[in-house]
Amino acid sequence: MTVNFVDLKREYFSIEHEINDAIQKSLNNGNFILGEEVKNFENDFSKYIKSEYAVGVNSGSDALFLALKSLGIDNGDEVITVSHTFISTVDAITRNEAKPVFVDIDPHTCCIDSSKIEEKITPKTRAIMPVHMYGHPADMDPIKEISDKYGLFLIEDACQAHGAEYKGKMAGSIGDMGCFSFYPTKNLGAYGDGGIIVTDNGELAQKLVMLRNYGQIEKNRHEFLGYNSRLDEIQAAILSTKLNYLDKWNEARRNIAQAYNRFLEGSGLIKPLEKDYAKHVYHLYVIKHKNRDFIQKELLKKDIQTQIHYPIPVHLQNAYKNMNPVKLPGTEKVCEEILSLPMHPWMISEEVNEVCNSLNRVISSAGIRNGSIKPHFKI
């Protein structure tokens, strides 16, 4: 049995008629850019996140880029973030001509280590950009304390954390702004590119509305340099439909994670952590082991697809090799040990069990574990 890493066809077929109706309705409207669908989705999403405003844009990357732009972050400024992330977090800083300053991660949560932030603050520091990695929120209270103390902006990269919670608050609603991606494989995904920025600050929201649309305040009047970075109507219609299922789909992910957790107990593999303060939404289910490459290869022989998020940290990418070298031991070690198991809400029991059984055979034959636990999982 082949177990796919994700399966977007199953997602579509599970709500095929609703999606088709939503697309049809939007085609019938004959309005494809910045119409009712985008407005409705922005309303629905801001309510879901419990933020005052939401501004739809064309990707998570542009959500991050425009968030920094709206704060006036520019050449000569520094923004504190992590190297253990998808590269676009850091590109958002670089594309604004500011300097990314990397803080190491807490290897347990794979999120920014808040105890190492303060030592990186300089007079040029303007913002902190934590990433809610894999769907697990960063430890926001100490981060917020630091950003308040030094007068820094706090921007959450929530691109992997739709519906995640930190002490009961929605990820993305805690800092000055929260940025989300609707890349198709995300917990809430479009059928194309999309993104959104949430904030409680009306002035920033207004600025973002203009930045995404050529700096336009009204037709033919442009107040500042802007971009073409809009969420389109058809994607917004699709996202409104899918938002109704997000909690149910996240619950399915959490159930699968629990089954994996039970299986991994005492296995010698390190399972992902869910801190007391966190509601993890398992965008990715990431285990750790020092023989990661071997385990991945053996699983593939058994038709179990896995991935690595991410094998090369940003500070070691060629695109960033001209930066001042920096040592991030936690980040560098984690990158060699992480392995993302198949995880999506449409996995059936047989597939979850197949992953566990295959993993069991691999680790038993490799002497990583001797005894064997029979995985049993029923949805």
Ligand X SMILES: *Cc1c(COP(=O)(O)O)cnc(C)c1O
Residues at the interface with ligand X (CB under 6 A): 59-61, 85-86, 88-89, 131, 157, 159-160, 181, 183, 193, 195
Smallest distance, Å, CB 130 to ligand X?
10
Closest C-alpha to 313, from 31, 86, 29: 86
Q: Which is nearer to ligand X, 95 or 333 (CB)?
A: 95
Q: Which is nearer to ligand X, 91 or 200 (CB)?
A: 91
Smallest distance, Å, CB 288 to ligand X?
19
Bridge-partner residues for 279, per DSSP? 165
Q: Which is nearer to ligand X, 190 or 363 (CB)?
A: 190
Smallest distance, Å, CB 160 to ligand X?
4
Q: Which is nearer to ligand X, 252 or 314 (CB)?
A: 314
- Strand pairing class (216-218; 169-170): unpaired
Q: According to the 3-state scheme, what is the secondary structure of 273-299?
A: CCCCCEECCCCCEEEECCCHHHHHHHH
Smallest distance, Å, CB 172 to ligand X?
12
Smallest distance, Å, CB 86 to ligand X?
4
The rounded Cα 151 to chain-centroid distance in angstroms is: 26
Q: DSSP for 59-73, please give it.
A: -HHHHHHHHHHHTT-
Smallest distance, Å, CB 132 to ligand X?
8
Q: Is the dihedral of CA 163, 169, 175, 176 positive or negative?
A: positive
Burial class for 281, CB neighbours closer than 10 Å (0-12, 13-18, 19+): buried
Q: How far apart are CA 239 and CA 169, in angstroms?
A: 22
Smallest distance, Å, CB 258 to ligand X?
23
User: Which CA distances in Å does 39 have to 45, 69, 191, 215, 351?
Assistant: 10, 22, 18, 18, 39
Length of the chain in terms of residues written: 379
- Strand pairing class (99-103; 78-82): parallel
Q: Could you give the count of Cα atoms lying within 13 Å of 163 in the half-sphere of its Cβ?
A: 22
Smallest distance, Å, CB 88 to ligand X?
4
| Closest chain position to ligand X (CB) | 60
Smallest distance, Å, CB 125 to ligand X?
21
Torsions phi, psi of 154, nearest 5? Answer: -125, 115
Q: Which is nearer to ligand X, 26 or 59 (CB)?
A: 59
Q: Which is nearer to ligand X, 136 or 288 (CB)?
A: 136
Strand ranges inside 168-240, DSSP E? 169-170, 177-181, 195-199, 216-218, 221-222
Neighbours of 317 (CB within 10 A): 14
Closest C-alpha to 178, from 190, 196, 202, 204: 196
* 80 within 8 A of 70, measured Cβ to Cβ: no
Neighbours of 17 (CB within 10 A): 8
Smallest distance, Å, CB 313 to ligand X?
13
Q: Which is nearer to ligand X, 160 or 358 (CB)?
A: 160
Q: Which is nearer to ligand X, 259 or 309 (CB)?
A: 309
Q: Which is nearer to ligand X, 69 or 298 (CB)?
A: 69
Q: Which is nearer to ligand X, 59 or 331 (CB)?
A: 59
